[in-house]
Amino acid sequence: MVCDMINKVFSSAAEAVADIPDGSSLAVGGFGLVGIPAVLIDAILEQGASDLKTVSNNCGLDGFGLGKLLEAHRISRTIASYVGSNKEFARQYLSGELSVELTPQGTLAERMRAGGAGIPAFYTPAGVGTQVAEGGLPIRYDGDGGIAEASVPKETREFGGELFVLEEAIRTDYALVHAYKGDRLGNLCFRGTARNFNPDCAGAGRITIAQVEHLVEPGEIAAEDVHVPGIRVQRVVPVGRQETGIELRTVRQ
């Protein structure tokens, strides 16, 4: 028999995010429109937390996901690998309202994975010979076309005759993820391409909150299908089936 003391299920998204304070850092799963913890993001929007620092592949779309927090000026800084077609993101970045640390996509995933694994930093060839390693990437503009803050040079080291750049791991105050299945112990299973940044985000957060489409009993997820073990998840919110939208619709004229 499982003790109720380790039941991690919250009755609502609002309850699960209620204690997230201003200035928190959030690792947020998803890629494009797939695997986005949209219900949790909407709950934070309603809750009112501001000055948030987000870590995500992209910062949502206009009117969806993190794009909603962005439009409400709740995000002050983000680490991302892809700006995408979010016009408000581009406007805030170029106007100096938003600080942006652009990071190669694989490097971003590994920085979060390393954070969850307790690895403080690692060397990678990605970005060597570019401003990623040499510094000078605009993090924040001054609103007049000038650069108010730029990235600094990173340590490089040669291994086997090849140059690598040192990247630091990422740990955040909270992580928000979307899973297809989850049990009340926090074990998660992702479906299809929703298994993108979500597992890495789950490991990077000190407090990980998972919205799950299907809440099941412990043991109903086969051991080989547990993509994130419950030890990495502190809160589970059942949200029912979530539809995935279409990011870019192309039709014949």
Mean pLDDT (10-residue bins), the chain, 253 residues: 69 97 97 92 97 94 91 97 86 95 96 97 97 96 94 97 98 98 97 93 97 96 96 96 78 82
CA distance 10 to 181: 15
Count CA atoms closer than 13 A to 211's CA, side-chain side: 26
Domains and CATH numbers, the chain: 4-117+169-238 (3.40.1080.10), 121-168 (no CATH)
Per-residue confidence (pLDDT) for residue 33, from 0 to 100: 85
* Tokens at 109, concatenated: 């995933």
Per-residue confidence (pLDDT) for residue 3, from 0 to 100: 43
Per-residue confidence (pLDDT) for residue 5, from 0 to 100: 54
Q: What is the DSSP string of the chain?
A: ---GGG--B-S-HHHHHTT--TT-EEEE--BTTBT--HHHHHHHHHHT--SEEEE-SB--BTTBTHHHHHHTT-EEEEEESB-TT-HHHHHHHHHTSSEEEE--HHHHHHHHHHHHHT--EEEESTTTTSHHHH---EEEE-SSSSEEEEPPP--EEEETTEEEEEEE---EEEEEEEEEEEETT--EE--GGGSSSHHHHHHHEEEEEEEEEEEE-TTSS-GGG-SB-GGG--EEEE--------SS-----
Contacts of 228 (CB under 8 A, 6+ apart): 177, 179, 186, 187, 188, 190, 198, 199, 202, 203, 210
